[in-house]
Structure formats: structure tokens, C-alpha cells
Amino acid sequence: MSAPATSRFAQFKLVLLGESAVGKSSIVHRFVKNTFDELRESTIGAAFLTQTITIPETDTTIKFEIWDTAGQERYKSLAPMYYRNANAALCVYDITSRVSFNRAQDWIKELRKQAPEGIVIALVGNKSDLSDNREVELSEVEEYVEQYNSEATGGGSTIIIAECSAKTGDGVLEVFNRIGRALPVEEAINAAGGRARQAGGRRAGGVDLNRPRAQAQQGGSCC
């Protein structure tokens, strides 16, 4: 039984970290509104949003659950509540603010210590449209990441680095595409299938309205 197009589906939790003024939620709003899917209005509020992307080569649809966090320093103690069980973290800084870059580095340190193993981390500089006021050079970020990776013992995936502009939309979708490609899609699909069988045919994590039956069947029949 060959699977129909886009029959592979995986869902991931992505947490947004970064200082208040870096525009991390603007990046997400841009991502959610700008892509091919129609805007999915969340039911409660815009701090939690979802968006799907398709990765054509592997015929996979990835649904991101995007969790915004409060960037104010005083609320940093709340962050662990948000990044537990996260599959990916988007650490955002403002390329015109060195302070915000330092703060993003702090988040990466904390994630490496406390976040789930294997979390995909992206270090993203926002406001690339303001490069005249740039304080953080991309080469500098590359250097930081290279050094960080060499120091980090015991695995952990490479940090993805990118720049984008929530204002113009430049580079935003690319960030999510790259994260999507770095995520353990196979693992997630297999795990979901296993859970579905265990739960008597229902899929864990709720039922996706877009693809209810096909998914459950696939989960049940593939192994």
C-alpha cells in the first residue's frame, strides 16, 4: 500500500526565547501569516500559534507548535515551564543590539544544561533590514557557534544560525525550513504510530482535523 502524497506528518514543539525588544513574536507572526497556509487563528491568544510547513524531498508535513515566552529579565524563571518537552528552540537576538546577543547566548547555555536532549537550537538575528546599525556581525556569530560546538561535550546537535527580518519577511520561512529539516521526523512518526496503537487506534497529541483517518491507518499498518 503506497502512501498518498504528504502522508507523513509530524508535530513539534518550538519555544521562542530572547529579550523583549528583539521581535521574536514578530518573526513568528510573520511566519504564520506569510506562508502558504491560511492564517490559523488560535483560539485563546497569539502567544501560542501553530503553522505547518512541507518538506518536499521527504514528502513530510511538519506542524510547529510555537510557544512564545516573556522576554523580560524578571520572568526568566518561567522559561523552564515552556522549554520542557520542546523539540526546538529559536533564540532570537537583534543584530543592532549586542546586549541582546549576549542574552541569546545565555539562553543557549541554559538550554544545553536543562532542555531536553537533542533539542534543535537556532540562533537567529532579527532586524536584518537595519544592517546600517548593526552591532553583531554574522562572522562573529559563526565564530561563537564554532567555538561553542567544540567545547560542548557529549553530543548535542549543531546550532543553526541565520539572520532574518520580521519586518520585510526576508529569511523568516527559511529559518523554519532549516529547523524542520533538522528535526527528528522519522523518530516522531514512529513514536506517534506506536502511541496510536497503544491507545487503541487514537493518535497521541490529539486529532488533527486535516488528516484524521489516513494518519491513524498509516500508524497502525506500517509496523
Contact residues toward another protein (CB under 8 A) are 11, 13, 16, 20, 24-25, 40-48, 50, 65, 67-72, 74-75, 77-79, 81-82, 84-85, 199-202, 204-207, 209, 212-213, 216
CA gap 172, 84 in Å, rounded: 24
> Which is closer to another protein, CB of 79 or CB of 121?
79
Q: How far is the CB of 15 from another protein (least distance, A)?
A: 10
Q: How far is the CB of 4 from another protein (least distance, A)?
A: 18
Please name the helix (run of DSSP H) or strand (run of DSSP E) that holds residue 103, with its range, or none: helix 98-114
CA gap 181, 158 in Å, rounded: 13
Q: How far is the CB of 27 from another protein (least distance, A)?
A: 11
> Which is closer to another protein, CB of 23 or CB of 161?
23
> Which is closer to another protein, CB of 67 or CB of 176?
67
> Which is closer to another protein, CB of 111 or CB of 161?
111
> Which is closer to another protein, CB of 156 or CB of 205?
205
Q: How far is the CB of 76 from another protein (least distance, A)?
A: 10
State residue 221 phi and psi, 5-degree precision: -100, -15
CA gap 149, 57 in Å, rounded: 28
Neighbour-count burial for 29-47, b at 16+ CB within 10 Å, e otherwise? bbbbeebeeeeeeeeeeee
